[in-house]
Every structure is written in structure tokens, then in C-alpha cells.
Structure 1
Amino acid sequence: MLEVKNLCKYFGGIHAVDGCSFTAERGKITALIGPNGAGKTTAFNCISRTMAPTKGEVWLDGERIDGLRPHKITHKGLSRTFQISRNLADMTVLENVICQSQVRGWRDLFRPAMSPEEIEKAMGILEFLGITRIAHEDGSNLSYGQKKLMDLAALLMSDPKIILLDEPAGGVNPTLMEEIVDHIKKLNAQGMTVLIVEHNMELIMRLCDRVVVMAQGRVIADGTPDEVRSDPAVLDAYLGGVLDEEAA
């Protein structure tokens, strides 16, 4: 579904992403992992066009999207979350979710701010995630974990075909982490394609069908979790470039 070809993002002499190529197969959960500074989030930013790539191509369902504006990419069916929640603190959870609804034409500008159809759809998503109880809470009153769930709800409001999750379980307690994992599995079982950046390797190895490993802006490994976990290049990258016999 998603194909990234020779993606590059340079900041002066710093090559944050340097010739990165990989695919995310339709209906599968693919992980993008690597040590800190590997370029994972920058790659996400370029794919979703919240940051313009220096060069390279991004294809979604056979259509090139790297030249589109972010809202156009969302209309094509690709949505993402961020490491840090971007909710609007002076709005309720329900309002935060509904404001992610797609505007499909100029006539939508004359509809109510929250139409009955949008409220029904948003409440259904909140129910799926088990957070209807906080639907009318202000965004500023939420815990860190609740913000993660609200971000996921807002993501689903745009009817995506593929979702990019940037550390969805980062910083949450183990119980909530398992809830988030369960939600991702259920979405995938319904046909959702998932591309995920996450530092919790135990979670990645049991959740994902395929793992792409980045280091210093480049892809150094790509395969099943079992193939990647035993790859010497991956071990080398995570251990800072030094491997002894025991570590290998």
C-alpha cells in the first residue's frame, strides 16, 4: 500500500534521512525501528508531508503523494499521530475528535460545527476505544495516556486506509499499553494497514508482521521479527557500533 523510494531529508550538512526505501504491505502491521537519531520520525514527517523531503518519492496505492499538501494526503487515506499529543486544550475530547472530520466540499462549510452524523460517528469511535466516559472532558484535563487514546480516535475520524503511529505506547503504563496494542490488533483485523514507530522492542516483536530497521538515516535491515532480531547489523546499530562475541 505504501512505498517509500530513496527518501532523503537534509538539514544543511546533516542527513537525517539518507536514501531510505521500504514498503508497508496492505493489511499488515509494519514497524519502523532504530536507535535514537536514526531518522524514523523525520521519515514519518516526510511521508505525511508535515515536512517537505529533500528528494525521493512516496507512493500510496499506486499514486505518488510526496508533492501533495498534508490535508490532501489525509484525503487520500493516510493519517498519522505524533509523539506528543497535538490536541486543542480548550476543546472537549468529542470536539477534538470531530474537528478531524474530512471536509469534502465547500457545502460542508455551511453545516453545523458538529453535525448529528459526526457526533454519532465520533461517539462510536470513542466507544470502540473504551473512552466514552471522557467525551465531554476538556483536553487539558486528560492524563498522558488518555491523550494518546484521544489522538488515536481523532486519527480514525478521517476514515484512513493506512495509519502511521509514532510511539503510540511511549510513556504510558503497562496496562494502558496492552489496551493500545489490543486496539491496534483489532483495527488491523478489520483490514487497517499500520506503520508504527516504537522503542518498545518486546511490543514490536509480538505485534508486527514485518520490521524495517533504520540507522543514521538509512535502512539497514528489513524482514520478519525473527530475522531482524538476529541480524548482526541491527545488533551493531543498537549497541553503538561495538559487538563482542557474547553480544553477537
Structure 2
Amino acid sequence: MLEIRNLCKYFGGIKAVDGASFEVERGSITALIGPNGAGKTTAFNCISRTLVPTSGEVWLDGQQIDHLRPHKITAKGLSRTFQISRNLADMTVIENVIVQSRVEGFSGLFRPAISPQEKDKALGILDFLGITRIAYEDGHNLSYGQKKLMDLAALLMSDPKIILLDEPAGGVNPSLMEEIVGHIRALNAKGLTVLIVEHNMDLIMRLSHKVVVMAQGRVICQGTPDIVRKDPAVLEAYLGGVLDAEAA
């Protein structure tokens, strides 16, 4: 479904992503992992065109998308979250979910701020995520974990075919982490394809169908969690030769 071909992103002499290539199969949960500074988030930013790649290609459903603007990529069915929530603090949760998800042009200026259809859809998504109770809470009143769930809700409003999740469980308590894992599995069971960056190796190894490992901007291994866990190059990339949550 998603194909990354020889992706490069250079910042002067720094090769943040250096010829990375991998595929995300339709209907899969694929994890992108690696030590700090491996280039994972930079690759995410290039795929979603938050950053313009230095070179390489990104293909979605047989169409090249690396030349498109971010909102056009979203319209093609690819949406992503960020490590740090981009919520608008003075807006309510439901307003954030709707406003952040819109993919439209100049014509959007001539319609109501929030339509009844958008409100109903947003409330349905919040209900699925179990956070209807905070629908009308201001963004600045939310906990870190609630912001993570709100970001996921906004992502789903655009009806994506594939979602890119950048550390969706990072910094949350174990209980909420399991809740987020459950949501990801439920969305995947409904046919949504997932590409995830996450440092919690226990979570990744039990959640993912496929794991892609980056180090120094390059893909050094890809395969099932069992294959990746035993690969010598992967063990070497993670200091101490041990692939676990602490080493990650």
C-alpha cells in the first residue's frame, strides 16, 4: 500500500535519512524502530511531506505522492500524528477534532464553522475512543494522555486508509498505553493500515505484524518481530546488544 524508495533527507552534511527503502502492506500494522537519531521521525515527516525530501520517492496505492502538499496527501488517504500534540488550547476537544481534520480549500470559508454532520461524526469517534466526556473541555485543560487520544480522534475524522502514528503511547501511563493499543488493534481489524514509530519495544513486538529497523538513516533489517529480535545487526544497533524497552 505504501512504498518508500531510496528516501533521503539531508540537512547540510547531516544525512538524517540516507537511502531508506521499505514497504507497508495493506491491512498491516508495521513498526518503524531504531535507536535515537536513526531517522524515524524524519522519514515520517518526509512521507507526509511535512519535510520536503532531498531525494527518493513515496508511493501510495500505486500513485507517487512525494511531490504533493500535505493536505493533498491527506486527501489521498494518508494521515499522521505528531510526537507533540498540536491542539489549539483555547478550543474545545470537539472543535480541535473537527478543525484539525479538515482537508479543503478556499471554498471552506463560505460554510458554517462546524456542520451538524461534522459534529455527529466527531462525537461518534470520541465515543469509540471512550472520551465523549471531555468533548466540550478546553484543550488547555487536558492531560497529556487525553491530548494523545484527541490527536487520534482528529486523525480519524479524515477517513484515512493508512495512518502514521509517531509515538502514540510515548509518555502515557501503562493503563492508557494498553487502551491505545486496543484502539489501534480495533482500527486495524476494521481494515485500517498502520505505520507506527514507538520506543516501547514490548508494545511493538506484540502489536506489529512487521518491523522495519533504521540506524543512521538507513534500513538495516525488516521482517516479523521474531526475525528482527534475533538479527545481529539490530542487536548491534541497540547499545549493549539487547533489544528491549530500556535499550530503545
1:9 aligned partner: 9
2:89 aligned partner: 89
2:121 aligned partner: 121
Cα deviation for residue 47 of structure 1 reads 0.2
Contact 1:8–1:19 (CA under 8 A) maintained in structure 2:
yes
1:62 aligned partner: 62
1:20-35 correspondence to structure 2 within 5 Å:
20-35=20-35
| Deviations, residues 188-242 of structure 1 (Å, cap 9, x unaligned) | 0000000000000000000000000000000000000000000000000002689
Cα deviation for residue 103 of structure 1 reads 4.1
- SS of equivalent to 1:85: coil
Contact 1:100–1:158 (CA under 8 A) maintained in structure 2:
no
Cα distance between partner residues in 2 of 1:12 and 1:106? 36
1:145 aligned partner: 145
| Deviations, residues 89-108 of structure 1 (Å, cap 9, x unaligned) | 11000000011343456544
Which runs of no fewer than 5 residues in structure 1 stay unpaired? 243-248
Cα distance between partner residues in 2 of 1:13 and 1:101? 36
Report the CA distance shift for 1:103/1:35 in structure 2 as closer, same or farther (over 3 A).
Answer: closer
| Deviations, residues 27-73 of structure 1 (Å, cap 9, x unaligned) | 00000000000000000000000000000000000000000000000
Which runs of no fewer than 5 residues in structure 2 stay unpaired? 243-248
2:162 aligned partner: 162
**What RMSD in Å do the two structures reach over aligned CA positions?**
1.3
Contact 1:75–1:102 (CA under 8 A) maintained in structure 2:
no
Cα deviation for residue 121 of structure 1 reads 0.1
Contact 2:103–2:158 (CA under 8 A) maintained in structure 1:
no
Contact 2:101–2:155 (CA under 8 A) maintained in structure 1:
no
The TM-score with structure 2 as length reference comes to: 0.95
2:191 aligned partner: 191
- Letter matched to residue 142 of structure 1: L
- Letter matched to residue 93 of structure 1: V
% of aligned pairs identical? 82
Cα distance between partner residues in 2 of 1:107 and 1:40? 36
- SS of equivalent to 1:158: coil
| Deviations, residues 128-156 of structure 1 (Å, cap 9, x unaligned) | 00000000011000000000000000000
Cα distance between partner residues in 2 of 1:18 and 1:108? 39
1:212 aligned partner: 212
